[in-house]
A = this chain, B = another copy of it.
């Protein structure tokens, strides 16, 4: 199978490594509009060749979109306009509602598989690509009934081979659950970094006193705005809802602490502890 990956950054680059390590694709082509990324992807051996998008459409059995989410809907239509009924297009973006609306009535819709592998780090660019990235994680496959059986089977089989657990839901469900579980963590982390930068004017103290706790909670604040502004923006209404709840929860903490309500604080922390049971 010849695979072309559009966008050889953190996600596209790591996916290329997974395909290679699992002998899924005998040729991996890369497409990227940045000169620097094209050069790095080749140097790092992430892909066999860097090609133009036209060349990718001409040669590849599977075309993978791994670009920021705001570019995916338009790019999807352009690709679906030109592929044959034997080719498959898939994306790895974390937002699906707009995409699914834009391609809904396209005559080649059945050649498209919309996926969201639940993995990422705070880094970006081809140099951040890591081996074994997706193993053991869940991949959300959206609106599977709108993909042709063979296209869906190829994509699911590939994800299973790299060690992911497929989970099926509609685009709307996926966007809501992603806001509730994944996107809110990023906002929390960005806001925590800003809080500390605002209150703690002495940078030396931040460096000296940052224990493991602060570092892990603030890690996502290193994430690229180029990736995250489009995600927040495209998932606006779900995110606003969960953000309202998050602010409310912080206000509860504030009020209990103001009133010296030891029992109340103990109760909400004990409730928060139950996240352990769910996570493992």
Contact = CB atoms under 8 A, between A and B. Distances in A.
Given A243-B254, A254-B247, A278-B206, A196 B217 contact: no
B213 A186 contact: yes
Interface in A28-84: none
Nearest to A195: B246
A211 interface: yes
A105 to B, nearest CB: 27
Contact of A192 (B138, B184, B236): B184
B185 A253 contact: no
Q: How many copies does the complex hold?
A: 2
Interface in A253-271: 253-254, 257-258, 260, 262, 265-266, 268-271
Contacts of A194: 249, 252, 268, 271-272
B273 A221 contact: yes
Nearest to A246: B195
Contacts of A216: 216-217, 219-220
A233 interface: yes
Contacts of A208: 118, 138, 165, 167
Contacts of A241: 199
Interface string A218-231: 11111111001100
Given A119-B211, A236-B257, 16 more contacts: A120-B213, A182-B214, A189-B272, A190-B272, A191-B249, A194-B271, A195-B242, A195-B249, A197-B274, A199-B245, A203-B278, A216-B217, A218-B279, A243-B254, A247-B251, A250-B250
Given A185-B192, A220-B216, A253 B243 contact: yes
A135 to B, nearest CB: 12
A182 B249 contact: no
